[in-house]
Structure 1
Amino acid sequence: MTPPEATLWTRLRPRRDGLPSFRRQHPIGPYILDFYCTRLGLAVEVDGLIHGTGSSPQHDARRDAWLASQGVEVIRYSAADVLKDADAVAHSIWTLVLSRTR
């Protein structure tokens, strides 16, 4: 894992009563997801600078479309945002998870 992924993982890893759990580096088809919640079909991706350059945006769009066809929703956060305030990123993820489990 990259440093931003490791930082976020420390906030997603702990099991919480009644809430779905996340897996890290989870394979689906030809892709490896940074974090994946099986129960919700939710992937969390931490994007470094490379994701905004060259053909990366088109690749990410194709990847996200394929994952959506498999029932997986992808949410993305920049690595910079994770490093700046990992607690806020984790809070936004857990808020989304809570909204879908009620």
Structure 2
Amino acid sequence: MRRVPKEMTDRARRLRNEATPAERAMWQLLSNYRPSFTRQLVVGSYIVDLACRKAKLAIEFDGSQHLEQQNYDDRRTKFLESEGWRVMRIWNNDALSNPEGVARLILQEAAECLGGTHPQPLPFREGRVRRPRYK
């Protein structure tokens, strides 16, 4: 038995191949980071543009067509949040005009979803006793 219906898999594959310029720009910047990101992930009956599975962070890139489908986007966001996902919505023009800034924002959000970083990390090697070198 398939975990994801074949038509959803085929649609996600087609969306990956026909990615928007904003999705391509973000993928190029985020694909090498860990935890890893996935393009066009099927979650329930929806396909998320970009996702970090480990952090359960869903990133949606919105263009002008999303102004007209606000109800659909709200239902989608409520469903994803009910499944434990945190949803970020980013306008395509923001991703294209400032890709490095948007990528940094996404990575910060993913780190926050994973428990964040310590507000005051210890300096490197603090607390270690230095051993003498042997010659």
Higher strand residue share: 1
Separation in 1, partners of 2:111, 2:55: 11
Which of residues 59, 66, 71 is equivalent to 2:72? 59
The answer to which structure, 1 or 2, has the higher relative contact order (CA under 8 A, 6+ apart) is 1
Alignment pair present for 1:69 and 2:87: no
> Partner of 1:7 in structure 2?
25
TM-score, normalization: structure 1? 0.88
CA distance in 2, matches of 1:37, 1:10: 15
SS of 1:36's partner is: strand
Shift of 1:11: 0.9
Q: Supply the AA of the counterpart residue of 1:82.
A: A
Normalised TM-score (structure 2): 0.68
1:99 aligns to what?
Answer: 112
2 CA distance for matches of 1:33 and 1:12? Answer: 15
Q: Which one has a larger percent helix, Structure 1 or Structure 2? A: 1
- Seq. identity, %: 35
Gaps of 5+ in 2: 1-18, 118-135
Q: Structure 1 regions of 5+ residues with no counterpart?
A: none
Q: Paired residues, what number?
A: 97
Cα RMSD, aligned residues only: 1.1
Instruction: Report what 1:80 is aligned to.
Output: 93
SS in 1 for 2:35: coil
Question: Do structure 1's residue 34 and structure 2's residue 52 form an aligned pair?
Answer: no
Change (3 A) 1:70 1:100: closer
Q: Which has the larger radius of gyration?
A: 2
